[in-house]
Amino acid sequence: MSNKVVHAIYNDDDVLLAAVHKTKAAHYHIEEIYTPFPVHGLDKAMGLAGTRLAICAFLFGITGLTIYSFMLKFIMISDWPQDIGGKPSMAFYQNMPAFVPVMFEGTVFFAAHLMVITFYMRSRLWPFKEAENPDVRTTDDHFLMEVGVNGNEEELVSFFKNTGAVEVKVIDKH
Amino acid sequence: MYQFSSRLKSFSFALMVLGILGIGYGFWTAPKTNEDVEKILKEQEAHHGGAHHDTHAAASHSEATHDEHAKVEEHASHEATTHEAEVVDTLKHEVAHVAVDTASHAEVDSTAVVIAPVVANHKSDIYVSKFHKEHVDHAAEHKEHVEHVKHQLQNKPWSALYVACIFFMLIAVGALAFYAIQWVAQAGWSPMLFRVMEGVSSYLLPGSIIFIVILLLTCFRVGDNHMFVWMADGVATKGHENYDHIIAGKTGFLNIPFFLIRAVIFLFGWNLYRYVSRKNSIKLDQTRDMSFFRKNYNAAALFLVFFIVSESMMSWDWIMSVDPHWYSTLFGWYVFASFFVSGITVITMTTIYLKNKGLLPEVNKSHLHDLAKFMFGISVFWTYLWFSQFMLMWYSNIPEEVTYFVTRIENYNLPFFGMVVMNFVFPILILINADFKRLSWVVVMAGIVILAGHYVDFFNMIMPATVGDQWFIGVSEISSVLFFAGLFIFVVFTALTKAPLASDGNPYIEESKHFHY
């Protein structure tokens, strides 16, 4: 199987969006699109599934709330219930208002940090990671669509030329 | 143009008629005399059965001893004539002595046996006189208690009316504030909904007229209305039986003329803005003259400055002053958050109603989503203020401020914590989901719970000070809500018929039509 891909390069996001619609209509499989900034509606045009990061964050938040609640319950009520300034330490609910600031911050802390870490893991981002940039111009002012070549190469190249690409290259991908 | 549907109109009339009947019933059945109150207390006691409330127990105790009163007095006086006080005292001393020494000194036993009958006799005597004294205190206490309960029960229909009246009026104020913010912020999504917001805020004028009437009735104590303690006779007069040192120190602010003047200024200012803004908004549609847009922008900016000051003072006057011994600095914002979220909720529900009738074709799911986001966000904001107020007072536990929450937690436990569930837990779990915010039935359901929750919030702010532990969500409360709900629906939907529902002169209207999120 050949590892050939077409790199169609555009210099306008509207042209890119129109090209994505055409490519989808022609049933070519878009491998990846590189853009210098978020293009509104690109994910919808490509038909990407919605992110579930928000659901993760919600679950992380609940985890944080549970952990902090149990921590406070254990330390302040179960392990050593001291009388500190007359605060009732007989049961968790009696002293709960004093714990709420901690529980709230714990919830936010877990939701935020774990969601960010999840995002990094899911997007495979870490320090010293080698950049996967096929063309340096895509971080500046060009947009690049990568489509796998299956079958007629000539036809594919002319198709992308017609979508308004400023440059179409066929590249052997290793 | 929107046509007021006849079904909705008859529905609103039905609500008003039912409400008026119920309000009338509430006033009719409020106790007029102490005897009525005695009867009610007896009934309450019978209902409660074995589980005695403190006050009921005290009341029943006095009831029972009333009959014995004469007998006991006779007995006591008889004893007093046959025995000298000195004798009683020495014997009392001996009794104590014997009781202490019985265990260690066996020989004392014989003497103890000898004097035992005598002592027993005197003991009962001492007991009787002691009991008698207590009994007299009880009678006075009971009378005071009955008087207290009478005032609370007489306040009940008034407070029910007051809570519903201020709640619905403030919904209109909340919608008006939201509307002004949209103008000042030059929001691009909301001009589609300006007519709906103007419709909801149109209740402000009739609402504030009724409110000012109720305030006047309260100030001149028409009927048995004791809602505001600081308005009672002689609270600031030294030597008067009603004299209250703390309230006397506040009369510079809390006096009836100044109170009424402030009320008139606040209500006039809000109504003036609502009138000017509505007029300019309609003119903008008709003439497409951008000067009206600028006028409305300036009016909204000025209004918001006036509003934040007047709103804060309004909350001290109309709500906080029912508890004149208590004060809280963030109270104004807390009240604001409560009626602001209610106003936004009513705007949302009205929009959904009109949209479902096909009258707002250009309002899309993104508008709904934005409104639901506001409902969600301001609900959380309300909770933040509620908790900040509660927790700061709970934590420091200074007696002069914490009594406010002590009475609420003891006597209003379910409403006090129930409203936190309705105004926070429920919306946060339902409206956190982006897909849910686009489903009108979910938003309406959340809206109903939020509105009910904020009614309970206002109930919790007023009732503990006016009716105390005699509260009950009964005929008076429900009828008052029904009456004002009916009036609200009638006024709002009548106002909606007065102008086309889509405001098309606004420069942001195209953006608003194509708004999507």
pLDDT digits (tens, 9 = 90+) for A86-143: 999 999 999 999 999 999 999 999 999 999 999 999 999 999 999 999 999 999 999 9
B470 token code pair: 């005699």
Residue B451 vs residue B96, higher pLDDT: B451
Does position B120 have pLDDT exceeding 80, yes or no? no
Average pLDDT value for residue range B454-466:
95
Which one, of B37, B166, B252, lies nearest residue B488 by Cα? Answer: B166
Min Cα–Cα distance to chain A from B387, Å: 8
Give me the percent of chain A exceeding a pLDDT of 70: 98
A168 token code pair: 């179409």
C-alpha angle B501-B503-B508 in degrees, rounded to nearest 5: 140
Q: Note which residues in 86-115 of chain A have CB less than 8 A from chain B.
A: 86, 97-98, 100
Q: Say whether A97 and B432 touch across the interface (CB within 8 A).
A: no
Phi, psi of A134 (to 5 degrees): -75, -20
Residue B123 vs residue B19, higher pLDDT: B19
* Residue B209 CA: distances (Å) to CA of A93, B215, B277: 45, 10, 20
Averaged pLDDT of chain B: 85
- Chain B residues close to A54, C-beta within 8 Å: 434
**3-state SS string for A79-124:** HCCCCCCCCCCCCHHHHHHHHHHHHHHHHHHHHHHHHHHHHHHHHC
Does position B271 have pLDDT exceeding 70, yes or no? yes
* Spacing of C-alpha B432 from chain mean position: 29
Does position A1 have pLDDT exceeding 60, yes or no? no
Does position A77 have pLDDT exceeding 90, yes or no? yes
Average pLDDT value for residue range A40-52:
92
- CB of B301 closer than 8 Å to CB of B353: no
Does position B55 have pLDDT exceeding 80, yes or no? no
Residue B44 vs residue B515, higher pLDDT: B515
Give me the percent of chain B exceeding a pLDDT of 90: 66
B429–A contact, CB cutoff 8 A: no
- CB of B59 closer than 8 Å to CB of B141: no
Phi, psi of B289 (to 5 degrees): -90, 115
Q: What is the pLDDT of residue B134?
A: 52
Average pLDDT value for residue range B437-458:
96
DSSP state, A164?
T
Which of A54, A58, A97 lies closest to B391 in CB terms? Answer: A97
- For residue range B495-504, list pLDDT tens digits in order: 999 999 988 8
Beta bridge partners of residue A6, listed in sequence order: A147, A170
Average pLDDT value for residue range B216-231:
89
pLDDT band at B110, cuts 50/70/90? very low
Residue B179 vs residue B125, higher pLDDT: B179
Which of B387, B432, B434 lies closest to A100 in CB terms? Answer: B387
Residue by residue, DSSP assigns B418-459 as: HHHIIIIIHHHHHTTSTTGGG-HHHHHHHHHHHHHHHHHHHH
Residue B236 DSSP SS3: coil
B328 token code pair: 């809280």
Give me the percent of chain B exceeding a pLDDT of 70: 83
Average pLDDT value for residue range B247-269:
95
Chain A nearest-CA residue for B432: A58
A55–B contact, CB cutoff 8 A: no
Chain B nearest-CA residue for A88: B395
Min Cα–Cα distance to chain B from A88, Å: 11
Q: Say whether B387 and A86 touch across the interface (CB within 8 A).
A: no
* Residue B402 CA: distances (Å) to CA of B314, B387, B395, B405, B467: 22, 14, 9, 5, 19
Q: Say whether B432 and A86 touch across the interface (CB within 8 A).
A: no
Q: What is the pLDDT of residue B414?
A: 95
- For residue range B415-433, list pLDDT tens digits in order: 999 999 999 999 999 999 9
- Distance (Å, whole) CA A113 – CA A119: 10
- CB of A90 closer than 8 Å to CB of A55: no
- Distance (Å, whole) CA B26 – CA B22: 6
Min Cα–Cα distance to chain A from B395, Å: 7
pLDDT band at A174, cuts 50/70/90? low
The verdict on ipTM greater than 0.95 is no
Does position B409 have pLDDT exceeding 80, yes or no? yes
Q: Note which residues in 385-404 of chain B have CB less than 8 A from chain A.
A: 387, 390-391, 394-395, 397
- For residue range B314-336, list pLDDT tens digits in order: 999 999 999 999 999 999 999 99
Average pLDDT value for residue range B40-53:
67
Min Cα–Cα distance to chain B from A105, Å: 13
Min Cα–Cα distance to chain B from A87, Å: 8
DSSP state, B316?
I
- Chain A residues close to B434, C-beta within 8 Å: 54
Average pLDDT value for residue range B75-87:
45
Which of A58, A86, A97 lies closest to B390 in CB terms? Answer: A97
Q: What is the pLDDT of residue B180?
A: 97
Min Cα–Cα distance to chain B from A1, Å: 43
Q: Any idea which residue has 């709103």 for tokens? A: B311
Q: What is the pLDDT of residue B72?
A: 42
Q: What is the pLDDT of residue B109?
A: 45
Does position B143 have pLDDT exceeding 90, yes or no? no
Q: What is the pLDDT of residue B48?
A: 66
Q: Among A168-172, B375-379, B446-450, where is mean pLDDT lowest? A: A168-172
A74–B contact, CB cutoff 8 A: no
Average pLDDT value for residue range B300-308:
97
User: What is the dihedral sign for C-alpha B343, B349, B351, B357?
Assistant: negative
* Side-chain half-sphere exposure of A42, counting CA atoms within 13 A: 18
B345: left (phi over 0), alpha (psi -120 to 50) or beta: alpha
pLDDT band at B115, cuts 50/70/90? very low
Min Cα–Cα distance to chain A from B404, Å: 16
pLDDT band at B103, cuts 50/70/90? very low
Q: What is the pLDDT of residue B383?
A: 97
Does position A171 have pLDDT exceeding 80, yes or no? yes
pLDDT band at B304, cuts 50/70/90? very high
Does position B470 have pLDDT exceeding 60, yes or no? yes
B272–A contact, CB cutoff 8 A: no
Q: What is the pLDDT of residue B40?
A: 82
Q: Say whether A86 and B395 touch across the interface (CB within 8 A).
A: no
B428–A contact, CB cutoff 8 A: no
